[in-house]
Structure 1
């Protein structure tokens, strides 16, 4: 079994990955969405445990954007007595620079909860087994293997992304400032339905996301049973591309790409897609806040005319528009949640 469950957390991300034996799979959770979706997150986790305890091999918090971190904070505040978290992966303030060790003076909300709960923090990245807290989560050639045979490689962030966040985040007692800076229409707010002719989206130059928190985002490559999943979080495409090239000398088949930044056209470029050899794409968003996914992003996904599959975790509103293929666009298939389910499942 290798399953990615994209939970409905409005404009945010929350992914429950399950692998191993069908009857007793292992699980990891990546992000928790915004605070207003925390009840949905807890309900989905509660249903998965089927009356038993639920163990997360690892809980990953990819970066500080509220639509990724707030649900995790709420979950830890509620502290369900049926939930066991073996390890948390999260780059806190003291991880930004190798020499910048703040110790117990760090006081942002998530870091305080991790310490108050006595949770294992970045243990897989310890350089010394006697360290109480692990090191930075950073782009690396070295894979990490979990019980049951799941292999994880970190593709983002790189040193530059960590340094950029360190420059912006000067107060360890609070979360970093929301310094997102984007050019006009990078978030797709002026997109309308139906989209323009397909050819109109192919000629414009790629303009990258410039959000500092996104530049520090943790992107992961998972491998289990010879299947590979790339979880892009909100990472920059050039950083993920560099991370892949550290791992592989040639393009590598990817069985599923969780598209970065909810389908923003500023986070997935043609160079990255050409490197992936992927035909299955997952987009996590309700589309209500930013009209994600952007038309230009969908145009890049279908550009090779190989009838890719695009999977959405919401079937209504903006994502639901893509159930109907626009006239004269390349062909593609779609998948949406089953009726009554607060998630969409991707089985690999």
Structure 2
């Protein structure tokens, strides 16, 4: 099978184009859309690829609701709704119409929290291009839901769970969540507890900023921490570190082709893999790994990395000490991965990272 993975440089977000060709079948798959402001990069690559795929997008996967993953989906729907064949997306209600109604009823509460977040941003000294835009993510999900209805796409949507696959490409399957796992978080994804996710994200950002007040740069951090055993210093729980329900139920997918394994993780967390007992042979000794949550320290454990044992790692991130986290990078460097860790924004001129079935990695610059 011919494969190509294009990870668009959307900094701390995800926008991945996966192309598959085998015999007389081919598929173009879009996994998330990144921040809305980076959509022109995504569209540019889609325009180059579409003619070779019968001008069809075979599958759009919205791994979860966060702004840095779903923001660009809204614009993509405007441009390409007529050629989309299938959409995988979670719903917090039985239908998109019910979901839109529920979310609209909560906008007053959202706006109150937004005021709190604006005050936090001002005190923290961060601007709109540096923060995680958590509040806007809620509105993005609302608009995406409305567009799916507007463009009569609900009949093409599917809520995937473990074991589902793309028709004609059984090699591309859903690893997580199981139906049971998703339903265990459903209450947190609804009603007033949906707002709890936003508050938790605000708290997580505060903790990140507070931790960095003690250090001026990565060099200073390394002075205070023994890096001889980085793997043992990784986190053991995402939930205890305020990782949201939205992230924990990210749609995780696996491609098995040419005796190789490629794992796409969204913002899944430690318990996503460990509590569901899905660290099986299918995702052991990976050839390629999309590092969870842009390399956040809260989403990857020593157990996960030991099991994944990836040969090559791609990270969609800003390339700072925090994303991907330096302990995760050092742990990977001490394993089979070595220096085969590629970060989209380590060179700001990067348009996208490209990986093919022969294991070739190429950094495409934005020209």
Give TM class, smaller chain.
0.7 to 0.9
Which aligned pairs between 1:90-109 and structure 2 lie closer than 5 A? 90-94=89-93, 101-102=94-95, 104-107=97-100, 108-109=142-143
Of 272, 292, 299, which residue of structure 1 is paired with 2:323? Answer: 292
Question: Alpha carbon RMSD of aligned pairs, Å?
Answer: 3.5
- Aligned residue for 1:272? 304
Q: Offset at 1:246?
A: 4.3
Instruction: Give the corresponding residue for 1:206.
Output: 235
Q: Is the aligned partner of 1:146 residue 2:167?
A: yes
Q: Please identify runs of 4+ aligned residues in structure 1 that moved more than 4 A.
A: 21-25, 50-53, 171-174, 186-191
Structure holding more helix per residue: 2
Q: Which residue matches 1:307?
A: 338
Contact 1:279/1:306, CA 8 A, preserved across alignment: yes
Aligned CA distance change for structure 1 residues 145 and 266 (closer, same or farther; 3 Å): same
Match of 2:105 in 1: none
Structure 1, 184-193 or 147-156: larger mean CA deviation: 184-193
Q: Deviations over 1:219-251 (max 9, x none)?
A: 1122223321111110012312455x4483687
Q: Give CA deviations for 1:166-214 in whole Å, capped at 9, x if unaligned.
A: 335317999x746424383499756723362522645536253322221
Distance 1:173 1:265 in 2: 23
- Structure 1: runs of 5 or more not aligned: 95-100, 124-132, 318-339
CA distance in 2, matches of 1:173, 1:292: 25
Q: Which residue of 2 aligns with 1:87?
A: 86
Of the three residues 203, 225, 230, the one matched with 2:263 is 230
Distance (whole Å) between structure 1 residues aligned to residue 228 and residue 3 of structure 2: 37
- Give the superposition deviation at 1:160: 4.4
Q: Does 1:41 align with 2:72?
A: no
Rounded to whole Å, the distance in 2 between the matches of 1:52 and 1:250 is 28
Distance 1:103 1:238, change over 3 A: closer
Corresponding residue number in structure 2 for 1:334? none
Q: 1:66 to 1:234 in 2, by over 3 A?
A: same
Report whether the alignment pairs 1:316 with 2:315.
no
8 Å Cα contact 2:285/2:308 also seen in 1:
yes
Q: 1:281 aligned to 290, 308, 313, which one? A: 313
Counterpart in the other structure of 1:326? none
What is the distance in 2 between the residues matched to 1:341 and 1:51? 23
- Runs of 5+ unmatched residues, structure 2: 101-141, 358-367
1:17 equivalent to 2:18? Answer yes
TM-score normalised per structure 2: 0.71
Structure 1 CA distance for aligned equivalents of residues 57 and 181 of structure 2 = 30
SS in structure 1 of the partner of residue 207 of structure 2: coil
Q: Look up the match of 2:160.
A: 137
Alignment of 1:104-183 (within 5 A): 104-107=97-100, 108-119=142-153, 134=158, 136-138=159-161, 140=162, 142-148=163-169, 150-156=171-177, 159-170=180-191, 177=198, 179-180=200-201, 181-182=203-204
- Once the two structures are superposed, the pairs formed by residues 236-255 of structure 1 within 5 Å of their partners are 236-243=269-276, 245-246=277-278, 248=280, 252-255=284-287
Query: Could you tell me how far 1:307 is from its partner in structure 2?
Result: 2.6
Looking at structure 1, the residues matched to 46 and 19 of structure 2 have their Cα atoms a distance apart, in angstroms, of: 11
